[in-house]
Chains A and B, each alone.
Chain A
Amino acid sequence: MSAETAVAQGATSLDLAGPIPGGGEVRLTVEHLTMRFGGLVAIDDVSFQAADGRITAIIGPNGAGKTTVFNCLTGFYKPTVGRLALHHPKGEFLLERIEGFRTAQDAGVARTFQNIRLFPRMTVLENLIVAQHNKLMRASGYTVFGLLGLKRYREAEEKAVELARYWLDRTLLTKAADQEAGNLPYGDQRRLEVARAMCTEPVLLCLDEPAAGLNPRESQLLNQLLMFIRDEHKMGILLIEHDMSVVMGISDHIVVLDYGRKISDGTPEQVRSDPAVIRAYLGEDEDEEPVGETAAGQESAAREGDERDA
């Protein structure tokens, strides 16, 4: 990293004092997150905040460490250093200390992956019901009442189906409810993943490249869905995305990573004109060209390289 970049970094506000760019109540505070794999530093001292009811996008060139941030948040990796505090209505959760499944169960962080990971041999509806596992498990007295078909369990199950139907309706999948999830068209599977994540009734939704591989129309549907979730459900969304039209179109706050470091943090307008960002995407040449289209093209050309990030 050149001296020039370091200066530019100093110019960007990296500290967490002051309000979050894009506004909103703080939902997630990431402080000094560092993740090393042997000698490789995947994330180097990254701090940022994400707000409730806002879409926070994490962008950056391939291998910048975006997915690693998600893996730390959802308990796949134990960060080498750092504090990941989730401000939950029930209290504060330190995500780096929570066992994998509790991230969803107690802390209410839901996540999707770059590649689709539905339960392919379950129906669409079942995918959404299984996401409400914990609620139903308690209601069914750990299955015993469920077998006996007690009223309490039946009511809980009806409610679960109701919630599932609500999200099927929102994701335009109502007609496909009884199909096997693995047989849905790609774009529908993407939306079903978001629906399933929402059925866990999270407080923070982490989406890893939800628009990857979507055609423009499907991408549009997804944008509408994400904005609906943000506006109607006041959900905080953390979004990794390569498609700049999605990022610039719907995010309220953008965090830019490069080589595991945060190089910029601000509203879309601020980030778009940040020289450090332009440099990261376009190379050392000072160039007035907007980040948008060029960066998107560059990204898709080198997509494979990002797989190791997953």
Chain B
Amino acid sequence: MQNTFAYFLDQLINGLTLGSIYGLIAIGYTMVYGIIGMINFAHGEIFMIGAFISIITFLILGLAGITWVPLALLIVLIAAMMLTSVYGWALERVAYRPLRGSPRLAALITAIGMSIFFQNYVQLLQSARNKPMQPVISGGVEVMREGDYVVSLGYMQGIIMVLTIVLMAIFSLMIARTTLGRAQRACEQDRDMAALIGVNVDRTISLTFVIGATLASVAGMMFLLYYGVIDFFIGFLAGIKAFTAAVLGGIGSLPGAMLGGLLIGLIEAFWSGYFTVEYKDVAAFSILVLVLIFRPTGLLGKPDIEKV
């Protein structure tokens, strides 16, 4: 069965779905790294909070009697994006901004501390139990049939991929074309100089966190809808995987984060499909090790060339 094309196609669909989620989270890592040169290890927790806000909003909507799925999804999406971005903003404002200009290690340790804080915060407020949710969107379209084996693209999978593509398109457009995007790139290349031409650097950094959190919240919502169960610890693994994706693509590079996310998703899906499910995390993290050894700048990252 493993040798059929249908099986391959099935894994491809799974991998792309998973990769979309990783890619959206990875953008947050890579953007923050680009602009302030730190790894925001609490970003995985922002994703987890996004998932929790989504499930809470779904429950509230259920109680309020709003059950028409497209409307409910839209409301949840907006609520998750807005509330999670507040967390992203507060995280930067409270934990990172006071440390601006201090050694990198201080910022790194703070990030790990904030990650632990967010995990415990959600655990205390929401308890450590798994939170299940009934599938909101089920069914799919049949893509291929080979004997008894049916490959189908779930509606949810389709939504995840389309939503990811749309968000990434908007986001790329914003970075490349708009004033904010230019300001972000300016801050990334020379923060002091950006301030001297009148860019409000603090606000630009805040907005970077807000954008990263917004994308992570969408990933959180999709994760919830796709897997149907979340707990306070999902941010850890997803965060580390997305970080791996960002490094694989070249940390600091936005197309790299998207590509890296997709690759990690595919590697995980194919490894689970063709080898063992148990070692899928090992496979993903081996990639991290290999990339760091052989190509530290990642696939699309540019090496720092010092001009003398």
Contact = CB atoms under 8 A, between A and B. Distances in A.
A133 B197 contact: yes
B4 interface: no
Given A122-B186, A133-B183, A147 B170 contact: yes
Nearest to A122: B185
Which of B182, B190, B198 lies at the interface centre, i.e. has the most chain A CB atoms within 10 A of its CB? B198
A12 to B, nearest CB: 32
Contact of B189 (A119, A129, A131, A147): A119
B197 A131 contact: yes
B189 A143 contact: no
Contacts of B174: 143, 146-147
A21 B186 CA distance: 39
Interface in B155-178: 170, 173-174, 177-178
Contacts of A133: 179, 182-183, 186, 197-199
B177 A130 contact: no
A196 interface: yes
Given A119-B193, A122-B185, A147-B174, A200 B180 contact: no
A101 interface: yes
Contacts of A140: 178-180
B286 interface: no
Contact of B201 (A101, A103, A146): A101
A308 to B, nearest CB: 17
A297 interface: no
B195 interface: yes
B170 A105 contact: no
Contacts of B180: 137, 140, 142-143, 146
A117 B182 contact: no
A72 to B, nearest CB: 14
B200 interface: yes
Interface in B217-232: none
Given A101-B199, A130-B186, A117 B193 contact: yes
Contacts of B179: 133, 136-137, 140, 143, 146
B196 interface: yes
A84 interface: no
Interface in A102-139: 102-105, 110-111, 113, 117-122, 126, 129-131, 133-134, 136-137
Contacts of B177: 146
Contact of A104 (B173, B182, B183, B197): B197
Contacts of B189: 119-122
Contact of B178 (A134, A143, A197): A143
Which of A119, A126, A130, A143 lies at the interface centre, i.e. has the most chain B CB atoms within 10 A of its CB? A130
Contact of A119 (B178, B185, B195, B201): B185
Nearest to A105: B198
Contacts of B199: 101, 130, 133-134
Contacts of A68: none
A69 to B, nearest CB: 15
Contacts of A110: 196-197
A192 B158 CA distance: 48
A42 to B, nearest CB: 19
B182 A147 contact: no
Contact of B195 (A100, A113, A147): A100
Contact of A101 (B178, B182, B185, B198): B198
A119 B186 contact: yes
B190 A119 contact: yes
Interface string A82-111: 000000000000000000111111000011
A50 B194 CA distance: 25
Contact of A111 (B173, B178, B196): B196
A74 interface: yes
A267 B182 CA distance: 42
A253 to B, nearest CB: 24
A117 to B, nearest CB: 5
Contacts of A136: 179
Given A117-B190, A143-B178, A146-B177, A104 B185 contact: no
Contacts of A120: 189
A2 to B, nearest CB: 39
A147 B173 CA distance: 7
A169 B170 CA distance: 34
Contacts of A130: 182-183, 185-186, 194, 197, 199
Contacts of B307: 182
Given A129-B182, A140-B178, A104 B195 contact: yes
Given A117-B190, A120-B189, A122-B186, A200 B197 contact: yes
A76 B192 CA distance: 9
Which of A126, A133, A182, A199 lies at the interface centre, i.e. has the most chain B CB atoms within 10 A of its CB? A133
A299 B6 CA distance: 76
15 contacts: A76-B192, A100-B196, A103-B196, A104-B197, A110-B197, A117-B193, A119-B190, A122-B189, A130-B186, A130-B199, A133-B182, A140-B180, A143-B179, A143-B180, A146-B174
Given A104-B198, A105-B198, A119-B186, 18 more contacts: A100-B195, A119-B189, A119-B193, A119-B194, A120-B189, A121-B189, A122-B186, A126-B182, A130-B185, A130-B186, A130-B194, A133-B198, A133-B199, A137-B180, A137-B183, A146-B177, A146-B179, A146-B180
Q: Which 6 A-B pairs have the closest CB atoms?
A: A104-B198, A105-B198, A146-B178, A136-B179, A101-B195, A143-B180
Interface of B: 170, 173-174, 177-183, 185-186, 189-190, 192-201, 307
